[in-house]
């Protein structure tokens, strides 16, 4: 089988809180399941041909890094949206999550353009929302899962009316510290504030992303046999306990 191709957007700028570790997890879990992952760095003026990439990943960055790459990322917007429409999967974390929306407005009122893929926009706030966070998610009907991670953001992300959040906040702040929801999910695209990195402690989400990438490549959604994941389950449990010790906010 041809390798699964991952487009890693601006990896030299958007890689805060070990977000690059998410790529390592995807590569290893793909190998365990008999698939090869080919990761390609995509920067300014990258050529993104239709159907070439099965999954796109964009990590987090501080305001300075976001401001540096936002225009270049926005210029890739049409080809990225075309790839999404053709079935490619996306994972965007923190700053990358914000830039997959319509725009990010900083504290000075300057708007950084997003690519307009996810139905949301983000406004800078005066107080940072920091700490462990626990979510309850249901990406597939009737299959509830929990996501555990770490958030550190001042941006308040506001979903458009009718947009689907990634999950309900059990403990932590989430998108804006008020709505009780975190992240955004649209088809095969996921945006979230969860750092840490996210996938080592949430292997079910890593497998879901791999399933979507394989379905894009082959046309068929695979059925994965469970992996042992003992260390991953322990990491999830530790992170979940830390979040719960903060007390539920919603």
> Is the backbone of residue 67 left (phi > 0), alpha (psi -120 to 50) or beta?
alpha
Q: Is 155 helix (H, G, I), strand (E, B) or coil?
A: strand
Q: Is 203 helix (H, G, I), strand (E, B) or coil?
A: helix
The verdict on whether 121 is a catalytic residue reads no
The verdict on whether 8 is a catalytic residue reads no
Q: Is 132 helix (H, G, I), strand (E, B) or coil?
A: strand
Cα 88 to Cα 102, 130, 195, 240, distances in angstroms: 19, 31, 22, 30
Q: Which residue out of 8, 53, 153, 195 is catalytically annotated?
A: 195
* Rg of the chain (C-alpha set): 17
How far is the C-alpha of 143 from the C-alpha of 246, rounded, in Å?
A: 26
How far is the C-alpha of 60 from the C-alpha of 194, rounded, in Å?
A: 10
Q: Which residue out of 53, 94, 184, 216 is catalytically annotated?
A: 94
DSSP state of 220: S
Query: What amino acid positions are annotated as catalytic residues?
Result: 94, 195
């Amino acid at each position: 089988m041809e390798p699964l191709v991952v487009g890693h957007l601006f990896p030299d700028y958007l890689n805060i809180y070990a977000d690059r570790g998410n790529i390592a997890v995807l590569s290893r879990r793909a190998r365990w399941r008999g698939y090869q992952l080919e990761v390609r760095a995509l920067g300014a003026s990258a050529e993104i041909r239709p159907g070439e990439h099965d999954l796109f990943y964009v990590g987090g960055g501080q305001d300075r890094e976001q401001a540096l790459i936002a225009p270049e990322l926005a210029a890739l917007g049409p080809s990225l949206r075309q790839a999404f429409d053709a079935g490619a999967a996306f994972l965007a974390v923190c700053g990358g999550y914000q830039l997959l929306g319509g725009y990010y407005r900083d504290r000075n009122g300057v708007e950084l353009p997003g690519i307009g893929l996810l139905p949301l926009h983000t406004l800078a706030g005066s107080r940072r929302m920091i700490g462990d966070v626990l979510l309850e998610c249901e990406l597939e009907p009737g299959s509830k899962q929990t996501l555990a991670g770490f958030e550190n953001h001042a941006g308040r992300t506001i979903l458009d009316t009718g947009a689907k959040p990634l999950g309900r906040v059990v403990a932590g702040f989430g998108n804006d510290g008020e709505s009780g929801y975190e992240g955004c999910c649209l088809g095969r695209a996921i945006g979230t504030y969860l750092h840490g990195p996210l996938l080592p402690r949430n292997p079910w989400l890593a497998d879901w992303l791999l399933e979507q990438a394989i379905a894009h490549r082959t046309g068929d959604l695979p059925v994965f046999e469970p992996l042992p994941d003992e260390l991953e389950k322990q990491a999830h449990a530790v992170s979940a306990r830390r979040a719960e010790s903060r007390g539920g906010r919603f």
